Amino acid sequence: MRLTQGTFSFLPDLTDAQIRAQIEYCLQNGWAVSVEHTDDAHPRNVYWEMHGNPMFDLRDAAGVMAEVEACRKTFPDHYVKVNAFDATHGWESLRLSFIVNRPRHEPGFGLVREEADGRNIRYTTRAYATDSPEGERYRV
Amino acid sequence: MNAAEAPPLDLEQLYRDSNVREAIDALDRELVGLAPVKTRVREIAALLLVEKLRRTVGLAAASPPLHMSFTGNPGTGKTTVAMRMAAILHRLGYVRKGHLVAVTRDDLVGQYIGHTAPKTKEVLKRAIGGVLFIDEAYYLFRPENERDYGQEAIEILLQVMENQRDDLVVILAGYKDRMERFFASNPGMASRVAHHIDFPDYTPEELFAIAGLMLEQMQYRLSDPAAQALREYIALRRTQPHFANARSIRNALDRARLRQANRLFEGRSGSLSREMLATIEAGDIRASRVFGMMKEKA
């Protein structure tokens, strides 16, 4: 199952040229761009690992592209996303976030039913990938 | 290809389209003297234009390495020319953004083991698409301390200068003799810096012309006796230690403005005209310490 989180996630994967153009747009707006990755992409997991510090005061996308490339190389089977943070007063939050790398095989999420008090049933989702420990997920 | 069939190549057209002429004209107009520097800038612009033209007709055109070294005494305009250079290279399409990131050793070299590489890389990332200007670059290399982290910064720089030539231009700047020693002890750096540009000291006339430009920008004018005083001041100041060319002139003018303001303030009972607010008198310049020192000697 294809993970759909963040902007552009219902589109086909962006090419590097498209990613570069998006980053260029972020930098034009003065947003600070950062790269994050995870191998536990549960929708409720909002804290992914940071790949290096957020990059402030950049003028050209080539610097971010190098970081994206480095992150993909280190974690080829992780989800990698690019975030753009707007520091202007009143926003002070992410303006854009999109996935730039995903594992070759995405097993998706299972629905877990928990029998609670009486005949109540609670539902939750669980990623199949998280059955294996960290670092061993999404191996084909 | 048959030469007769080839469309005529119009270098003039390309020159006009690139808007680089304005930048070069501005360089000529707004910077006084510096003939060798201006010649070199024009040569580089010509080279890049010809390369562009070669590319359009399918001749081999590898983008030439443009890392530079600016040597010269303080206040000879190295930073200013670097800024202009960034704009010119941008107009010629050699760098994508054309901004200047000016750094010194402190911005590149860390304090602890493992601190240097991320610091240098961060600066490089900021400079990508423009020009990285390293002032007093020889401080990066401290031969007396073999555990100095400067060497690490140099190695990262070299790698980027070689592999990401399209992404940024590095300009190293500093005093001539110390830069020469720096290159002698870092052959890798010397071989990657293609252009060595030396900034000559200004002549007294050039310094006077610079003062004129500065005053024009600040919207002040010199009275005729004040102009004479400034000429004498320049002649005296040049012979004194710590003379920093245009920077010394700027400081002298700033102090003259201070004295002018004070003079106007002291005589505030009288009426002031716009003319008086804009005029620097001979006394404002002659009150300088430089003239006092001459009297002491005499």
Q: What is the pLDDT of residues B238-266, one digit of tens each?
A: 988 889 999 999 999 999 999 999 999 88
DSSP secondary structure, A18-64, as one string:
HHHHHHHHHHHTTPEEEEEEES---TT---PEESS--B-S---THHH
DSSP A78-102: SEEEEEEEE-STTT-EEEEEEEEE-
What is the mean pLDDT of the segment spanning B215-220? Answer: 92
Q: Model pTM? A: 0.83
pLDDT of residue B63: 76
Structure confidence at residue B25 as a pLDDT band (50, 70, 90): confident
Q: Using alpha carbons, select from B121, B224, B114, B112 the residue that is nearest to residue B164.
A: B121
Q: For residue A139, is pLDDT > 80?
A: no
Chain A interface mutation, best of B89, B128, B156, B160, highest count of A Cβ atoms under 10 Å: B128
Q: B21, B34 in Cβ contact below 8 A?
A: no
**What part of A 81-140 touches B (C-beta under 8 Å)?**
none
The rounded distance, in Å, linking the Cα atoms of B132 and B108 is 11
Distances (CA, A) of B96 to A16, A56, A59: 18, 18, 9
**Per-residue pLDDT, B121:** 93
Cα–Cα nearest to B202, from B26, B33, B78: B33
- Distance (Å) from the alpha carbon of A121 to chain B's nearest alpha carbon: 51
* Average pLDDT of the residues in B23-43: 87
Question: How many percent of chain B have pLDDT more than 70?
Answer: 96
Q: Please tell me the least confidently modeled range out of A47-51, B2-6, B170-174, B261-265.
A: B2-6
Nearest of B86, B98, B99, B103 to residue B44 by alpha carbon = B86
A66 vs B: CB within 8 A? yes
**Cα–Cα distance list, A95 to A12, A33, A56, A127, B218 (Å):** 21, 10, 15, 27, 42
pLDDT of B293 higher than 90: no
- Amino acid in position B54: R
- Residue B219 reports pLDDT greater than 50: yes
Is the predicted pLDDT of residue B17 greater than 80, yes or no?
no
Tell me what the mean pLDDT of segment B148-161 comes to: 91
Chain B residue closest to A60 (CA)?
Answer: B129
Per-residue confidence band for B120, with pLDDT thresholds at 50, 70 and 90: very high
Give the closest-approach CA distance of A123 to chain B in angstroms.
45
What is residue B1's predicted lDDT score, i.e. its pLDDT? Answer: 46
pLDDT, position B60: 80
Query: What is the band of B7 on the pLDDT scale with cuts at 50, 70, 90?
Result: low
Q: Residue A1 gets which letter from DSSP? A: -
Q: Which of B32-46, B168-182, B263-277 is most confident?
A: B168-182
Lowest mean pLDDT among A72-76, B57-61, B232-236: B57-61
Q: Residue range B65-93: average pLDDT?
A: 90
Q: Which residue has the higher pLDDT, B197 or B272?
A: B197
Query: Quick check: B128 and A62 CB within 8 A?
Result: yes
Search chain B and give the residue with CA nearest A62.
B128
User: Is B115 an 8 Å CB contact of chain A?
Assistant: no
Decide if B248 contacts B290 (C-beta within 8 A). Answer: no
Beta strands, E only, B136-273 = 169-174, 195-199, 221-222
Which residues of chain B make contact with A53, given a CB cutoff of 8 A? 122
What's the CA gap between B276 and B264, in Å, rounded?
8
CA–CA distance, B99 with B89 (Å, rounded to integer)? 10
Query: Quick check: B86 contacting A, CB < 8 Å?
Result: no
Whether A83 shows a pLDDT value over 90: the answer reads yes
Taking CA atoms, what residue in A is nearest to B122?
Answer: A55
- Residue B19 is predicted with a pLDDT of 78
Mean pLDDT for B32-50 is 88
pLDDT tens-digit readout, B89-111: 898 888 999 899 999 999 999 99
Question: Radius of gyration over alpha carbons of chain A, in Å?
Answer: 17
Contacts of B128 in chain A (CB under 8 A): 58-60, 62-63
Long-range contacts of B182-191 (CB under 8 A, 24+ apart): B182/B137, B182/B138, B182/B140, B182/B141, B183/B69, B185/B141, B185/B143, B186/B141, B186/B154, B188/B154, B188/B158, B189/B154, B189/B157, B189/B158
CB contact under 8 A, B125 and A53: no
Chain A contact for B107 (CB, 8 A cutoff): no
Q: Are residues B246 and B80 in contact, defined by beta-carbon separation less than 8 angstroms?
A: no
The answer for B 127-146 residues in CB contact with A (under 8 A) is 128-130
Q: What is the pLDDT of residue B297?
A: 64
**pLDDT tens profile B161-200:** 988 888 899 999 999 999 999 999 888 898 899 899 999 9
Place of tokens 């001459």: B294
* Predicted pLDDT at B262: 92
The overall average pLDDT reported for chain B is 88
Whether B134 contacts A67, CB under 8 Å = no
* Residue A136 confidence (pLDDT): 84
Q: How far is B15 from chain A (nearest CA, A)?
A: 26
The per-residue pLDDT of chain A, averaged, comes to: 93
* pLDDT reported for residue B107: 94
